[in-house]
Structure 1
Amino acid sequence: AVRFNDVSTWPVGTGHGCIGCTEPDFWDTCSPFYQRLPDVKIPGTGIVADADSLGKKILGITAVAAGIHAAVGIGKRLVKGEKGNGN
């Protein structure tokens, strides 16, 4: 069934309060809706971080893991004596 604004569901229908998203100049006059959390303790780790520093750490860990994966793959090819011709 099509409901409000030609979509099948809307925030109020899923249990979220109405924030007036169809009002004129909504994004300029009605935000922010939520406040950024201050430093938060990550459960089970004892680490306290905010979203920005945590995101940077996760990005760094992912980049290091991708680099290690690439290096291991290249190392295996070199040990086997394969050439990078795509075969």
Structure 2
Amino acid sequence: MKEAAYKLIDRVDRVFTRLNNHLEGKDYVVGDRRTIVDPYAFAMICWGNSIPNKPLSDYASVFASTNSSNRMIPYNEQWFSKELVASLGCA
């Protein structure tokens, strides 16, 4: 069981590192505007952030994409609030 947990932590680190490198100097995952990939990436970042590994702030570009006006997701108060997103540890 412990080995599986370590493999998961290692995989999350590798994916976050790759995404971090991809997002460097970019506002969005694909192109120059928000696409369906951005909210999906945001959800996966929140999930990955819940796994006890490095803090999200260690991945500067990923951290910035979830904090800089939350460009990855449009705020629509009917869907969710900034407080809800903050409670997920991604804002």
Please state which structure has a larger fraction of its residues in helix.
2
The answer, yes or no, to whether TM exceeds 0.5 is no
- Which structure shows the higher strand fraction? 1
